[in-house]
A and B are shown apart, each in its own frame.
Chain A
Amino acid sequence: MTRVVGKGIPYIDARKKATGQAMFADDYKFPNMLYVKFLRSPHPHARIVSIDTSRAEAHPGVRAVAIGRDLPLGFGVLPVSPDETAMAVEKVRYAGEIVAAVAGETEEAALEGVRLVEVRYEPIRAFLEPEDSLTECAPEEQIHEHCKNGTNIHKIASLRFNDPEAALEEAPHVRTLKFRFAGVTHAFTEPMATVATWNEDDGLVVISATQVPHYLHRTLSKILGLPLHRIRVIKPALGGGFGGKSDPFPHELITAHLAMKTGRPVKCRFSREEVFLNNHGRHPTDMTISVGCDDDGKIQALNADIVIDGGAFGSFGVVTTYYNGVLLQGPYRIDRFGFRTRRVYTNKPQCGAMRGHGAVNPRYAMEVTLDVLAHDLRIDPCDLRLGNFLPSNTLTVGQLRITSNGVKDCLLAVRERSDWDRRYGKLPFGRGLGVACGFYISGSALPIIWNRYPQTVVHLKLDFDGGVVVYSGASDIGQGSDTVLAQVVAETLGLPLERVHVKAADTRHTPVDLGSYSSRVTFMVGNAALKAAEKMKAEISRAVAREKKVPEDTIMFTNGRVVSEDGGLDLSWDDGVEIALAGRGALATSGWYISPKLGGDFKGAGAGLSPSYSFGAFISEVEVNPATGHVRVVKVWGAHDCGRALNPKAVEGQIEGCIHMGLGQALSEEMRYNAGHLLNSNFTDYRIPTALDTPEMDITIVESNDPEGPFGAKEAGEGPIHPVLPSIGNAVFDAVGVRMYELPITPDKVLAALKARKNAEQEQVS
């Protein structure tokens, strides 16, 4: 039997992308198209005294100018923090915020127009360090006036179960450690681009590089005052997102506004510098974590206090605030558990969701702390972890429901493959191994905007040509979700992949999907597609059974044929289709996904809830040059439990991508500012690891077959990043005996730590 699930196959759009036929947002061109460019704030925090657009408007190549008061309504991807406007109104909150937009006949004319807009500013005290934002300031200095108690604190999230403080006092071994993490950004390949058209017949059509066409659809409606049915959002081919395209953005709203204002198509495309300024990347984080355990290394309690630097606006920040704490509840059993996270506003580009959202930094802190405790107790770090794993089918202390759980298999796999037992702690000075584990949500169980609709709907259409069209709002951002949908449908109907076509992410033609975030698409949209395909199978079976007089429940779909168990029926797919469509024409079915009711009934219980969780364990081997402090990651062994690999080639790709991205945050990537001005908004100075920096990778896919996942699948795109970073940090310790509490682990920090240790040793001797 030909199967398409479980086989490593190229993505269904790979040829189009490789040959340049795929249409990305910037590839769309329309007659009479205008181009929009933005004037951005030169100040991190300032009152706008006046804006004069008259000179810009008089420029012969300029067709329209827009400023903040043209689109004054607040928005944000989370309804709880609509703190952003399309352009600055009354004041600017970061250097780089859009103040005005100019649509011109050419990009050059638009840029010329931007230069002619005159703005007078009155600088306000800028808050650049998160600790400054924690304290009370003068009302006129507040970044947002809605912050309570005169501070710049955006959100405080705190949960506490079973008095963790008392447990830490009782625990025989406790480590309290402080960590600091620099902000990092997604660094996807394709800069943002949006094209908008407007006419009375079609309404507003927005083609945009987005991970969330549905939320963009809603936000356009709100900000532009257009009914939802007058708006169509199309997500074209996308060159990566990693969470960096998962908010509705000002440039999308402005481009649409200018298309409506001018009645002409308008295109916006970002420079790389603008992509960096748009940010929405991982929050810079300061974290203190206390973990206690007994003499055998059994974890007794965890308590964490976290401050995350949100930048100027909310974005996904409220979720991030919770995720920093709640996603420490696994993969270990911790019954006495607490955290407090405070997210502050600062006058820098805003932070938001990025691959592994909210859990990457705390995971580093937790896994390094466990390593320290293992070292204290002289327990092998793998053994200490094995003794603490959550089992399958359990609830965490905060009532996250764990179903399938392959973490133990993951750890055993990398332990064996890296020859850990023979080599850990025994490699020559300068060479070391480190281990870490992790877990992550496989789709957020709760939608961002509460409503009574399913989280996703998939429609299938079968017509006389024998092809099945999958209609889904899901956004393929390069992660291969279109391929997953085609695979699920083809597998269910026993068809070769070429019979299945995917029409996705066009809000006028495809049913709603909430978007590509929180690693939800394979699980949720996969399930909806499965349900729709099963219904289609049932309809065809019913028609064939009636006509061929065979029992319906004996009919099978396999190898592109419709057959009965006993071989008495053997129809080609096309013959089966003709029978099913006779007298009625095209067949349509629908499937959807709604998360089961999960979680407790306390405040904050919804955070981190997912119908399923992925698990993983990684081991890294590093080489540290003790003279220069330079760290080279030699090899990474990664094992990830994705439930079932629908497409092992894609899963491997995601794990490798996580290793590469984790390596960057661990060793070299960092958003650097000078007085609120981003210093490294280019790929020369924002240092993504190059091919030469990328280690050898040994990937193991663990299949725990999730009972609720489509064909047993759960996520693989984000979970594998979490263990990467701490496995590197822990390996540095094994190599040269110093702990790295600050990311990125740049050579200057390693050298300073080595010196400090040497000095301490000398003092001890003397």
Chain B
Amino acid sequence: MKNDSPREEIAERSYVVVTTVEEAVARARELRGDYQYVAGGTDLEVHRRQELVAEHHVIDLTAIKELHAISIDGEELSIGALVTLDEIISDVVVRERVPLLATAARSVATPVIRKSATVGGNLLVKNRCTFYDQSGSWRSSIGSCLRDNGDICQVVGTDAGCYSRNVSDMAAAFIALGATIVVRDQKGEKRYDLTALYSGDGIRNHNLLENDGIILRVQVPIKPVASWYRKLRLRESLDFTSCTVAAAVDERNYIRVCINGVSMAPVLIEGDLAELSLEELHRRARRSCQTVDNDLLPLKYRREMIHIYLEEWWGSIHVDA
């Protein structure tokens, strides 16, 4: 979203803790867009300090009890949006039935951050870019960028679009598992395929939430799948992803591979195993990933790693077979 400089506005600020979804949505309606929902706050707080939050009001969702639950709902596992990543890791049902989620959660941030950071927050983590995730004075010193107050993308040097990267590790895992989300907004409650959340726009990263929408829960099909997960990063902890690949193959040999961290939205490649080849996977990845030089690991290496991970995963399922 294009920020107006927060310092130019002199407005009342507020921080409200709500206890029900209804209350949250009602409060949001009153604030007419000038607010941020907050859960763990681990992303929002950094952005606030970097003068990247224009909104004056905060609606704290953490006291909404119904969003904290993990439950089995028929053939699906239902995970409340306020479940923390730490709770995902330690939940026995998650670990046994959908271990890919626990693996992905464990790869996010650090143990301390995971105690606050939520599933919903991770799905909605703001896209990142080396030229955007900086202090206000830094951004203005380089002339700002499209996503901020500038006229061009500092990475590619044109005004054609913003290529900020989606870095949600949980999104990669959930999408590979075919997850859906339930969103509540001013119009009511509706269920969507998780992939629909991601706009593919580097500036306005998410769909579905325009009418004060809140993600209530994520629904994951419980079915046996062979899953695989890799996250490219320099350190074993803390780092945002430079390329995450999550993959699942179900009993019908239907595959879903999600690549994230290398494009504006998670990239899903799916199809019947019998109809796919490694070359085809590479081709689709190349076609779908709009990877630019906006991470501290070199562009060439990140592009290479997409293929190396796909190859490694492809090898693993063929060994298993």
Contacts and interface: CB of A to CB of B under 8 A. Distances in A.
Interface of A: 40, 42-43, 95, 112, 115, 271, 273, 627-629, 667-668, 672, 674-675, 677, 679-681, 683-685, 687, 689-693, 746-748, 751
A668 B235 CA distance: 8
A693 B238 CA distance: 11
Query: Which 10 pairs between the two chains have the least Cβ-Cβ distance?
Result: A42-B141, A748-B301, A692-B236, A690-B237, A692-B237, A668-B234, A748-B298, A693-B236, A687-B234, A693-B235
Given A690-B238, A692-B235, A746 B297 contact: yes
B237 A693 contact: yes
Contacts of B312: 627
Contact of B137 (A40, A43, A683): A40
A271 B308 CA distance: 39
Contacts of A693: 235-237
B296 A679 contact: yes
Highest count of chain A CB atoms <10 Å: which of B110, B138, B237, B305: B138
B140 interface: yes
B142 interface: yes
A312 to B, nearest CB: 16
A687 B298 CA distance: 15
B43 to A, nearest CB: 11
A685 B7 CA distance: 26
Given A40-B137, A674-B130, A684-B239, 16 more contacts: A42-B140, A42-B141, A628-B232, A628-B308, A629-B301, A667-B234, A677-B138, A679-B130, A679-B296, A689-B235, A692-B237, A693-B236, A693-B237, A747-B234, A748-B301, A751-B301
B13 interface: no
A273 B138 CA distance: 10
B174 interface: no
Highest count of chain A CB atoms <10 Å: which of B135, B234, B296: B234
A567 B236 CA distance: 62
Highest count of chain B CB atoms <10 Å: which of A684, A693, A751: A684
A251 to B, nearest CB: 16
B141 A95 contact: yes
B235 A690 contact: yes
A628 B140 CA distance: 36
B187 interface: no
Contacts of A748: 297-298, 300-301
Nearest to B304: A751
6 contacts: A42-B141, A43-B141, A690-B110, A690-B236, A746-B234, A751-B301
B231 to A, nearest CB: 11
Given A40-B137, A746-B234, A687 B239 contact: yes
A40 B138 CA distance: 10
Contacts of B232: 628
Contacts of B305: 628
A687 B300 CA distance: 20
A693 B237 CA distance: 8
Contacts of B239: 684, 687
Contacts of A112: 7
Contacts of A751: 301, 304
B240 interface: yes
Contact of B235 (A95, A674, A687): A687
Contacts of B141: 42-43, 95, 677
Nearest to B8: A115
Nearest to A688: B235
A706 to B, nearest CB: 38
Contacts of A668: 234-235
Interface string B263-300: 00000000000000000000000000000000011101
Contacts of A679: 130, 134, 296
A566 B85 CA distance: 71
A748 B242 CA distance: 12
B212 to A, nearest CB: 30
A348 to B, nearest CB: 14
Interface in B224-252: 232, 234-240
Given A684-B240, A746-B297, A115 B7 contact: yes
Interface in B121-171: 130-131, 134-135, 137-138, 140-142
A675 B143 CA distance: 12
Nearest to A692: B236
A685 B131 CA distance: 12
Interface in B1-58: 7
Highest count of chain A CB atoms <10 Å: which of B131, B232, B235, B300: B235
Nearest to B239: A687
A606 B225 CA distance: 70
Contacts of B137: 40, 42
Contacts of B140: 42
B237 A691 contact: yes
A114 to B, nearest CB: 9
A693 B235 CA distance: 6
Nearest to A675: B142
Nearest to A95: B141
A685 B296 contact: yes
B297 to A, nearest CB: 6
Contact of B238 (A675, A684, A747): A684
B313 to A, nearest CB: 12
A136 B140 CA distance: 32
A68 B131 CA distance: 30
B311 to A, nearest CB: 8
A546 B57 CA distance: 80
A40 B110 CA distance: 33
B296 A672 contact: yes
B65 to A, nearest CB: 32
Contacts of A684: 238-240
Contacts of A692: 235-237
Contacts of B238: 683-684, 690
Nearest to B297: A748
Contacts of A685: 130, 296
Nearest to B295: A685
Nearest to B301: A748
Nearest to B154: A674
Contacts of A691: 237
Given A627-B312, A685-B296, A748-B300, A677 B142 contact: yes
B132 to A, nearest CB: 11
Contacts of B240: 684
Nearest to A672: B296
A624 B77 CA distance: 38
A747 B304 CA distance: 12
Nearest to B143: A42
A498 B297 CA distance: 52
Contacts of B237: 690-693
B185 to A, nearest CB: 32
A366 B277 CA distance: 48
B98 to A, nearest CB: 24
A334 B163 CA distance: 55
Contacts of A687: 234-235, 239
Given A273-B135, A675-B142, A687-B239, A747 B296 contact: no
Interface string B99-123: 0000000000010000000000000
A42 B142 CA distance: 7
B246 to A, nearest CB: 17
Contacts of A115: 7
A112 B236 CA distance: 40
Contacts of B300: 748
Nearest to B312: A627
A692 B140 CA distance: 36
A153 B22 CA distance: 67
Contacts of B296: 672, 679-680, 685
A411 B300 CA distance: 40
A336 to B, nearest CB: 41
Nearest to A111: B7
Nearest to A629: B301
B20 to A, nearest CB: 34
Nearest to A670: B296
